[in-house]
A and B are shown apart, each in its own frame.
Chain A
Amino acid sequence: MDASTSIETHHEPHGHDAAHEHHELGWWRKYIFSTDHKVIGIQYGLCGLVFLFFGFCLMMMMRWQLAYPGQAMPVIGKWLPHIFGAGTMPDGKMTPDFYNSLGAMHGTIMIFAGVVPLAFAAFGNFVVPLQIGAPDMTFPKVNAASFWAFAVGGVIMMISFFVPGGAAKSGWTSYTPLAAFSDTGPGHNPVFNGQTLWLIGFIFLISSSLLGAINFITTIIQLRAKGLTWMRLPFFVWAQFVTAFLLLLAFPPLEAAIVMQLMDRVAHTSFFLPAGLVVNGAPVSISGGGSPLLWQHLFWFLGHPEVYVLILPAFGIVAEILANNSRKPLWGYKSLVFSVLVIGFLSFIVWAHHMWLTGMGSAVSAFFQTTTLLISIPSVIILSAFFISLWGGSIRFTVPMLFATAFLPMFGIGGLTGIPLAFNSADLYLHDTYYIIAHFHYIVAPGTIFGLFAGIYYWFPKATGRKMNDFWGKVHFWPTLICMNVIFLPMFLQGMAGMHRRWYDGGQGWTVANEHTIWGLTGFQWNQPISWAAWIMGLAQIPFIINFFWSIKRGEKVNDNPWEATTLEWTAPSPPPHGNFIHTPVAYRGPYEYSLPGSERDYTMQNEPVAPAERTRRKPPAEPVLV
């Protein structure tokens, strides 16, 4: 075995100190108000998973209304009014306002309280310091502050469901002037109303990711182990590095926008409100002179980099797992690194492709159309490199590998269906239809979330010392994969048939959704199979939930490197103690030295020195020959 696991009786002063300090901490400091990056990572991970499931539940409720509009929801329909208030679901039937709340909060919670905390903060916190051989993050207290800011933001978002008027209902994008006037007027508190709480919650979430991003970048720059040069970093670290820059630089303009919308709502300014607005038949007393378009620009200045915040960590996770399970080096490591850097840069200058319909003018549109098409190039390079990495490998279909390989075609579908949207002439037709919903969900649901599942199955043994059950992992995987496609594939067709994404009745009252059939069903009728697939997918998560908690205590015990991986996190004990490593690691080689010619094992870890004999027989890593 490798050096770290063979020495169990070793007590160097450093390790002893760490254990001593560890011992002194009480339960609260150790598990709740911890400054240890691993505990914070796990806290983020658990909260992120809970929010993901909650956001999914909101969607499962909406799917009832879409498939069976106006009908009372069976079973839970009776007690939902007791939770969310009598006005939301009278007689188990969903009101339009409540439907809008669910839609807006589904998007907000999934993205900002679910995927970002899980993909960036949880995996980044737990894995990055281990992968770079660091004892912790550079600023452990800031790290804890980041988590608690996130927790406060999440709680505020949840509280907003229970204030008079219910949670925010202007879509996750909160476009003005709609958002400036929703949840105002009689029966609403001036501050404790859905939209205002949404804004306040956001300020906390943004502060949280700001603190996290600073910590990640500093840690990667400053705390890399000796010998771990930039081009020896695992691809996952690179992905997190770029993600952190996106959060660092793209979120503040949204924070500025949120402060301004907050001023519009609380101090009655007119940052986003033009003069002459009429609300509910009465002209409103505002100074005017603001611009709704300004909100859209500031929102999408975050909104587009945010897409890459969601996908880049998943790229990183998938890269690690593909290399590990195909037992060969990741193909085109340098191209991958440069691609991810180019994506990071270009993602800042594509935002207005969300705004083709606003009439910005053809010159502006042409610019953003060009940059949008440019950004598809590095994305395609990354996906191609992943596919080629599989070429000629001896693939192990472990559970993480199943999710990682499924990620590739799913992300591929999501990415390629985005290209028509990059052209403003095609987008004018598809804008705000179910086509858009299908396109970005293919990227974030079977894309990113599969990456996250893969990561959970893959690093679970590092966090607990035990493996998650393989059989139940597969029971989780296959129905989830099938349901994802049954949910989202028909939505492309619905969208192309002209169905709008925000219809409260699922299209029942619209000619366009009822008159043409697609594969035997009308656009409206397609809602039923989609909804059933969503509910079955909800059930398919039960094996995962049980497997997750059961395996913490009772999963199969494994050694420190169960996947026979090469990167530094697998040299630490499982679970790693406070301070992580028994020996401060030193890196002697690149991250993916699988199947090194002449080596006894098919993996060579980063901390294994290069033997003199190896120098002479070593050839450049073999690239596959594509015939």
Chain B
Amino acid sequence: MEIPYTISTRPDTGLWNAKVGIWLFLASEVMLFGGLFSAYIFLRLDAAPGTWPHGLLNVPVGTMNTAILILSSVTVVLAWASLKMRRYRAYWWYMLATILCGVIFLTVKLAYEWPQKFEHFGAYIKPEALGKYEKYLGNQRRTEKGLEPRIEITGHLHSQNAKEYEVALDPVNAEPDNPAMDRPHFFPLPVTDKIANIEKEDVLRATMFLPTHNTYFASYFTITGLHGMHVLGGVLVFIYMWLPVSKKLYQRNPEHLANRVEVSGLFWHFVDLIWIFVFPLFYLL
């Protein structure tokens, strides 16, 4: 028994089965990420003043990752086009390039960006103790200029004891009144060597930059995590299509392999597109 239209198109719809299937799948993916992005909007609009952080992510690295994903979308199209022209060798190289792009993206994300956040420390100050830490927060000036108040002190946690945290401050807390600190920086500024001691009884809540730290990081890790799982899925599929097992399929029916590359390429473009939304939402805005 053969299922019709797995490779050739059905005349009245002009489509083969998997192409219909992948577009439906992408529609459902739009709804999945749509739900998550809606949650982001909902939470961000609802956030109390000062609780939604800005400029904590590494923009150049994010930009590079964006470029890598876009590049991989180009190479996967070239891979597909090579198959259509029956140039298996070229296909093999383009596919390898796509896989490498995906792997680089994931490595940067998991081995560099995420761990950097896990090592960063932030302490939310109790409302009644904000005045005590004015020299790190600069709220007097911010109120005069109509800016959102700062309620958090961030940096590297050097040590802590039962009574206090010892933190090497981020520039924003080291020079809170410097107008340059009013806006996020494109190149992230390194942690200063200025040390602050924060008493634990003045602290509302202090954690590393983990999902639990605030709703911003909760959304960031959830959405980039889910996106990363999609990238990983795409890479695994591409590896399967790049391995010798697919060469056999190519020799038997090149069009079949081309169709497979086409649908997985469509998925890959979608994953790329999601990143195009993730990048400005978390890195830039």
Pairing of A with B: yes
Q: A77-116: which have CB < 8 Å to B?
A: none
Interface, chain B (partner A; CB < 8 A) = 1-6, 10, 13, 15-18, 20-21, 24-25, 27-29, 31-36, 38-39, 42-43, 46-48, 51, 124, 205, 210-215, 218-219, 221-222, 226
Question: Given A139-B21, A289-B214, 11 more contacts at CB 8 Å?
Answer: A140-B3, A142-B21, A222-B4, A248-B24, A260-B218, A269-B211, A287-B213, A289-B48, A290-B215, A298-B38, A578-B1
**How far in angstroms is the closest Cβ of chain B from A335?**
25
**How far in angstroms is the closest Cβ of chain A from B237?**
14
Bound Cα distance from A578 to B2, whole angstroms = 11
| Pair B214/A290 contact, Cβ less than 8 Å | no
Bound Cα distance from A253 to B38, whole angstroms = 9
Q: Choose one: A140, A210, A259, A287; the contact of B215 (CB below 8 Å).
A: A287
Q: Choose one: B6, B35, B218; the contact of A256 (CB below 8 Å).
A: B35
Bound Cα distance from A301 to B36, whole angstroms = 13
| Pair B27/A248 contact, Cβ less than 8 Å | yes
| Pair A253/B35 contact, Cβ less than 8 Å | yes
Contacts of A313 on B, CB cut-off 8 Å? none
| A214 CB within 8 Å of chain B | yes
| Pair A259/B24 contact, Cβ less than 8 Å | no
| A218 CB within 8 Å of chain B | yes
Q: Choose one: A136, A210, A214, A294; the contact of B39 (CB below 8 Å).
A: A294
Q: Choose one: A17, A138, A140, A301; the contact of B21 (CB below 8 Å).
A: A138
**How far in angstroms is the closest Cβ of chain A from B270?**
13
User: In the complex, which residue of chain A has the Cβ closest to the Cβ of B24?
Assistant: A214
| Pair A267/B210 contact, Cβ less than 8 Å | yes
| Pair B24/A218 contact, Cβ less than 8 Å | yes
Contacts of B39 on A, CB cut-off 8 Å? 256-257, 260, 271, 294, 298
| Pair A221/B212 contact, Cβ less than 8 Å | no
Q: Among A210, A215, A222, which residue has the most Cβ atoms of chain B within 10 A?
A: A222
| Pair A289/B31 contact, Cβ less than 8 Å | no
| A286 CB within 8 Å of chain B | yes
| A252 CB within 8 Å of chain B | yes
Bound Cα distance from A289 to B52, whole angstroms = 9
| Pair A255/B212 contact, Cβ less than 8 Å | no
Contacts of B210 on A, CB cut-off 8 Å? 267
User: In the complex, which residue of chain B has the Cβ closest to the Cβ of A578?
Assistant: B1
| A217 CB within 8 Å of chain B | yes
Asked if A271 meets B218 with Cβ closer than 8 Å, knowing A252-B35, A260-B39, the reply is yes
Bound Cα distance from A21 to B34, whole angstroms = 44
| Pair B1/A268 contact, Cβ less than 8 Å | no
Bound Cα distance from A285 to B24, whole angstroms = 42
| A180 CB within 8 Å of chain B | no
| A398 CB within 8 Å of chain B | no
Q: Choose one: B1, B5, B212; the contact of A17 (CB below 8 Å).
A: B1
Contacts of B24 on A, CB cut-off 8 Å? 213-214, 217-218, 248
User: In the complex, which residue of chain B has the Cβ closest to the Cβ of A253?
Assistant: B35
| Pair A298/B35 contact, Cβ less than 8 Å | yes
Contacts of A541 on B, CB cut-off 8 Å? none
| Pair B17/A139 contact, Cβ less than 8 Å | yes
Bound Cα distance from A137 to B36, whole angstroms = 31
Asked if A259 meets B205 with Cβ closer than 8 Å, knowing A223-B3, A267-B211, the reply is no
Contacts of B36 on A, CB cut-off 8 Å? 256, 259-260
**How far in angstroms is the closest Cβ of chain B from A29?**
14
Contacts of B226 on A, CB cut-off 8 Å? 259
| A451 CB within 8 Å of chain B | no
| Pair A223/B5 contact, Cβ less than 8 Å | yes
User: In the complex, which residue of chain B has the Cβ closest to the Cβ of A580?
Assistant: B1
Asked if A252 meets B212 with Cβ closer than 8 Å, knowing A287-B205, A289-B46, the reply is no
**How far in angstroms is the closest Cβ of chain A from B185?**
25
| Pair B32/A253 contact, Cβ less than 8 Å | yes
**How far in angstroms is the closest Cβ of chain A from B188?**
23
Contacts of A17 on B, CB cut-off 8 Å? 1
| Pair A214/B3 contact, Cβ less than 8 Å | no
| A277 CB within 8 Å of chain B | no
Asked if A267 meets B42 with Cβ closer than 8 Å, knowing A18-B1, A223-B3, A285-B205, the reply is no
| Pair B43/A291 contact, Cβ less than 8 Å | yes
Bound Cα distance from A231 to B17, whole angstroms = 21
Q: Among B1, B15, B212, which residue has the most Cβ atoms of chain A within 10 A?
A: B1
| Pair A218/B20 contact, Cβ less than 8 Å | yes
| Pair A218/B34 contact, Cβ less than 8 Å | no
| Pair A138/B3 contact, Cβ less than 8 Å | yes
User: In the complex, which residue of chain A has the Cβ closest to the Cβ of B16?
Assistant: A222
Bound Cα distance from A142 to B24, whole angstroms = 14
| A41 CB within 8 Å of chain B | no
Q: Choose one: B3, B21, B43, B47; the contact of A271 (CB below 8 Å).
A: B43
Bound Cα distance from A182 to B42, whole angstroms = 25
Bound Cα distance from A221 to B10, whole angstroms = 10
| Pair A222/B32 contact, Cβ less than 8 Å | no
| A45 CB within 8 Å of chain B | no
**How far in angstroms is the closest Cβ of chain A from B181?**
23
| A579 CB within 8 Å of chain B | yes
**How far in angstroms is the closest Cβ of chain B from A26?**
17
| A135 CB within 8 Å of chain B | yes
Contacts of A217 on B, CB cut-off 8 Å? 20, 24
Contacts of A308 on B, CB cut-off 8 Å? none
| Pair A249/B3 contact, Cβ less than 8 Å | no
| Pair B3/A269 contact, Cβ less than 8 Å | no
| Pair B32/A287 contact, Cβ less than 8 Å | no
